[in-house]
Amino acid sequence: MLPDIVTFWHGPLDRLRQTCLRSQLAAGHKVTVYSFDPIPGLPVGVGNAEAEAILPHAFSERLRPAEPDGSWRDWTLLQFSDFFRMRLMAVRAGIWCDADVLLLKAIEIDPAKPYFAWERPRQLGNSVLCLPADDPIVAAYTQLMASDDLEPDWLSPRHRVLLTLRRVIGRSGRAADLRVAIFGPASLTALARRHGELQYALPKRSFYAVHAEPKRFFEPSDFSALITDPAVTGLHISPKGRGNQAPVQGSLYAWASERFGG
């Protein structure tokens, strides 16, 4: 049986992510999006589950306090989702896929082993992630969430120096204010290295062939080799504000929209 795909979303879905979720269904997976509120535009066949039972909304206040109207600030959504996916791992909910991961074929895993891929030469991505519930990486996040300051003990020396400097000059000394992905790929990589799990990382091409080059997805190109490459399971897309744009004829996005709808 294929693993269930799970993810988290906050707010309305754009056109691109609707297409990506349909591609995950088309690959044969059961797909569930967790949210705090009903999601407008959720594709038919995609389930919607209550996020509060996995990680309470109030946890976001420990990251970046909300605006006066209660809306999340800046990169609160991204950091919250970094913790949310680890909570899903802890309860054995399935394999995490970002809502902007376009699947070209089904994901097959060994549930007893970590599943992730290189995003960059020295950094893992967490856009596609599955970890056993008893994995030490999951345990490390659980311990971090129970701490008072959410300051990882795996921070790099550079980040520790930066935190100290921020405190000295009177700026925020919270780890959450260091950078957007402080609890994401950088943390996953540091923990995988600590626990000897880098050996499980798939090649970058498996999911991140166009991640750093969105033009290859949104603009006309010859993408035939990419979609027929057996090493490519899916494509994590970095929309850069293009999520609601109409696909351009001759682009990989236009091909995906025609195949999966969008």
Hey, where are the domains in the chain? 5-200
Residue 46, C-beta contacts closer than 8 angstroms, at least 6 positions apart? 21, 25, 31, 32, 33
Rounded CA-CA distance 172/27 in Å is 44
* Residue with the two structure tokens 């999966």: 260
What do you get for the CA distance between the two ends of the chain, in Å?
A: 28
Q: What is the pLDDT along the chain (262 residues), one digit of tens a residue?
A: 899 999 999 988 999 999 999 999 999 999 999 999 999 889 999 999 999 999 999 999 999 877 888 888 878 899 999 999 999 999 999 999 999 999 999 999 999 999 999 999 999 999 999 999 999 999 999 999 999 889 999 988 888 898 889 888 988 778 888 887 899 999 999 999 999 999 999 999 999 999 889 899 999 999 999 999 999 999 999 888 888 999 999 999 999 999 998 6
One-letter amino acid for residue 207 of the chain: F
Which tokens in the block code for residue 28?
A: 């044969």
Question: Is 30 in contact with 47 (CB distance < 8 Å)?
Answer: yes
Distance from the Cα of residue 144 to its chain's centroid: 19
Look at residues 215, 236, 5 and name the one whose alpha carbon lies nearest to residue 100. 236
Q: How far apart are CA 116 and CA 2, in angstroms?
A: 16
- C-alpha atoms less than 13 angstroms from C-alpha of 107 in its C-beta half-sphere: 31
Q: Give the per-residue pLDDT at 158.
A: 87
